[in-house]
Amino acid sequence: MEVLGRGGRIEQAIRRVAIGLTLSAFLGPIVLIVLTSFKTRVAALESSPFALFQPTLTNYVHIFAEYSFAHFAKNSLIASLASTLIALALGSLAAYGLARYRFRGRGGLAYWILSLRMAPAIASVIPLFIMLRQVHLIDNLAGLILVYIGANLPLVIWMMKGFFEDLPVDMEESALIDGASRLGACVRIALPLVAPGLAATAILTFIFTWNEFLFALILTGRNAQTLPVAVTLFVRETGIDWGYMTAAASLMMLPMVICTLFVRRGLTRGLTLGAIK
């Protein structure tokens, strides 16, 4: 776009200001929440948001001591990591099959997997709730992980399919001719070459699972509850205690911010399911 010219000095200054305003519009609310989490509950609600305050860690201490933040964080972490890893393993193999082999119904299968990704979550959560209830896996982390594997597979398959298709086929062919098995060609030759893509897919899947709300809301109770649901319960139990709430929100945002720093390159592809690279 620099082809269109970078404009004169005045125009450049205006543009810088506009970019600055845009960035503060996106960053401002996040900063506000983090700052508020260091205020006492009285200061959080009663003083002006712009007033100076004495920072305190009480809110953080309290959400761990009174609201078992660690318990819910552990659930979130286990559910996200386990479902990401399993979906990644199953999905990568399937993606390799779709990318490297020609068979009847291949295109149809790929689009059908894509359509699963687009289906409304509320439609699958109703039958999943009834099914998990039958097998006594409601409010059980294993049940939630199972559901998340199903929800993550389409994304993993589509992202990894794109990464495999970008890979020149020669090296795998050589390996096959030299006597490697098909699985060997996939795991030992192709997989290391798509490692960056694999990492991007893993991070993105982790983010989606960490942020997931509807399944967790319906399929878990206190025992297997994850952070997004737990944090909405803070709201109900205490009226809204903004001190606690913002502390919990800040801690939930932290891993996502870190993930964002690492995933920027694979992000566009992941979010558009490979339509834009």
Q: Residue 227 in contact with residue 72, Cβ under 8 Å?
A: yes
Q: Is 260 in the site for other proteins (CB under 8 A)?
A: yes
* 192-231 residues near other proteins, rule: CB under 8 A: 207, 210-211, 213-214, 217-218, 227-229, 231
Out of 73, 157, 159, 194, which residue is the one contacting other proteins (CB under 8 A)?
A: 157
Q: How far is the CB of 179 from other proteins (least distance, A)?
A: 7
Out of 13, 61, 70, 119, which residue is the one contacting other proteins (CB under 8 A)?
A: 119
- At 7, list the tokens: 């404009």
Q: Is 240 in the site for other proteins (CB under 8 A)?
A: yes
Region of 57-65, 67-75, 191-199, 258-266 interacting with other proteins (CB under 8 A): 258-266
Please enumerate in sequence order all residues whose Cβ is within 8 A of that of 249, keeping only pairs 6 or more positions apart, or say none.
33, 37, 231
The alpha carbon torsion through 72, 225, 152, 27 (nearest 10 deg) reads -50
Out of 85, 90, 193, 199, which residue is the one contacting other proteins (CB under 8 A)?
A: 90
Q: Is 241 in the site for other proteins (CB under 8 A)?
A: no
Cross-strand pairs, 230: none
Q: How far is the CB of 261 from other proteins (least distance, A)?
A: 6
Nearest CA to 159 among 96, 250, 239? Answer: 96
Q: Residue 164 in contact with residue 96, Cβ under 8 Å?
A: yes
The helix/strand/coil state of 31 is helix
Rounded distance between C-alpha atoms, residue 235 and residue 216, angstroms: 17
Tell me, what DSSP letter sits at residue 139?
Answer: T
- At 14, list the tokens: 């205006």
Region of 60-68, 146-154, 194-202 interacting with other proteins (CB under 8 A): 146-154
Around Cβ 135, how many Cβ atoms within 10 Å? 10
Out of 124, 140, 191, 238, which residue is the one contacting other proteins (CB under 8 A)?
A: 124
Q: How far is the CB of 155 from other proteins (least distance, A)?
A: 12
3-state secondary structure 175-227: HHHCCCCHHHHHHHHHHHHCHHHHHHHHHHHHHHHHHCCHHHHHHCCCCCCCH
Q: How far is the CB of 195 from other proteins (least distance, A)?
A: 19
Nearest CA to 270 among 121, 167, 158? Answer: 158
Rounded distance between C-alpha atoms, residue 50 and residue 27, angstroms: 16
Q: Is 96 in the site for other proteins (CB under 8 A)?
A: yes
Q: Is 82 in the site for other proteins (CB under 8 A)?
A: no
Out of 77, 78, 176, 191, which residue is the one contacting other proteins (CB under 8 A)?
A: 176
* 28-47 residues near other proteins, rule: CB under 8 A: 29-30, 32-33, 36, 45-47
Out of 82, 186, 194, 200, which residue is the one contacting other proteins (CB under 8 A)?
A: 186
Question: Which C-beta is closer to other proteins: that of 64 or that of 255?
Answer: 255
Out of 101, 108, 136, 192, which residue is the one contacting other proteins (CB under 8 A)?
A: 101
